[in-house]
Amino acid sequence: MSLQPSEIDVEHFLAQKGYAICKHKVYVPGLSTGVLGKGSFGSVYKATKQGMPWAVKRMENASGLASAGLTQKEVETLRRLDGHPSIISLGEVFYEPSRDWVFIVMEFVDGGDLLLGLTKKPHLFDEALVRGMMFHISCGLAYAHEACVLHRDLKPENILLRGDMLPKIADFGLARIVGINYCQTAVGTPQYMAPEVPRADSHAPSGMYDFPADVFSLGLILRDMLSESTCMEWRLDIPVAAAERFQKWWPVGTSPGKQTETILALQREASGEVPGDRITAYQLCIELQELQKTNPMPCNLWSVQTKMPAGPPQRRMVSPEDAAEIAARNGFPKGSEVLIFVNDKWCEGIVEEISTSRCPGAAQVLYEDDDGEKVALVCPWQFAQFLRPSQWQEPGRSTNFRRSSSSKRSRSSRRTSALSTCKSAVSGAGRRLSALMRRDHLATM
């Protein structure tokens, strides 16, 4: 397919800047020659300047984007992160005012994106390569977090691959430079968004998120890399026609290899339900390095130099008043007597505390089941699924729940028991694997 009329104008304008669009090849079926991709903001072209290949992103409605600060934010972000080998680098920026276009020139990466690699060549992604690639991705992400940059749209399509499979994080168009406050805007690709990120089409119980949201997305990318049959396997609502795009096509004579429990555990740590319990991108770098030392698997990516961040970002917390407001707004303030759904049944409990850091606004519930008292952390977006007011009656039951004899103890003794249970659990946990109740996805204390 040849260039469209507007793209001919693009070609002429870029020529004035010294860039020539590579028109000898169709890079994406259905798009014009030389076009690497197309989205809501515009198109990306492969072009050369003085023999050097570049990816040139043309964004339409430049004045509107500028007024919203979007173009400047992306450019500022790329400049802040420039020089990291696992983050796409910035070339230059220029405008075409008569057409209201802005062009962002970036490093060209010749291996396609991760989604294309996973679906078309899944046999290449054994654990040895996955470890090396995830190390470099997590290093780049940790470097961004150290610079206070939150990506907010991590997914396989935004991980570009060099010819030697070195991954590079791309598309910082939705990134935000984070200050002392949490983010609250609904942005990102829904299938890869952390549960704490508000959805544009639904009620957001808390709507507060920061760096752990990126790590959740990274954990799902790792899950895509480890999955045997398809990417995005956790989504069962994808239409059949669209699902084919995410299917892994294994060449005849190849099959998935075995995976160590350690790499599977790291994936779970990254994609845990409670934001504060997730591993940080920096910690993931360190864990993968240690795994390579203790259980080495040869991969050329370990010989590629990178920039290690100094450490993880500072852990944030909201004020007790703000946390209490989130819980109260969603119907379960501190002191509420509740019913909590665990192990396929409703149990009596009480909201003992409201979290300010692990998960702002989450309810720490002390409840009773057949084995005695236990404590679970219920995040705001889980309230509707796992909590009910104590007066609520389960459909189909004619009587209210009966209290067990142990529930007649004083509230103060129950709180003392809960605190000692929490301290014992934390001290005995050692390393911080996400303590998720696998069946109900509630965090135990």
- Residues 380 and 204: beta-carbon distance below 8 Å: no
- Residues 354 and 323: beta-carbon distance below 8 Å: yes
C-alpha span between 404 and 369 (Å, rounded): 9
Distance of CA 196 to the CA centre of its chain: 11
C-alpha span between 197 and 131 (Å, rounded): 27
- Residue in 201, 207, 81 with CA at minimum distance from that of residue 141: 81
Q: Residues 6 or more apart from 72 whose CB is under 8 A from it?
A: 66
> Which residues partner with 54 through β-bridges?
47, 107
- Residues 151 and 192: beta-carbon distance below 8 Å: no
Residue recorded with tokens 């209201």? 100
C-alpha span between 338 and 392 (Å, rounded): 9
Residue recorded with tokens 């989205």? 39
Question: Which of the following is catalytic: 153, 171, 224, 277?
Answer: 153
∠233-205-202 over CA atoms, to 5°?
A: 60
Would you call 153 a catalytic residue per the annotation?
yes
C-alpha span between 351 and 395 (Å, rounded): 23
C-alpha span between 13 and 438 (Å, rounded): 56
- Residues 9 and 42: beta-carbon distance below 8 Å: no
C-alpha span between 198 and 276 (Å, rounded): 17
CA distances from 354 to 327, 362, 408, 431 (A): 7, 6, 23, 24
- Residues 359 and 316: beta-carbon distance below 8 Å: no
**444: helix, strand or coil:** strand
- Residues 126 and 259: beta-carbon distance below 8 Å: no
Catalytic (active-site) positions: 153
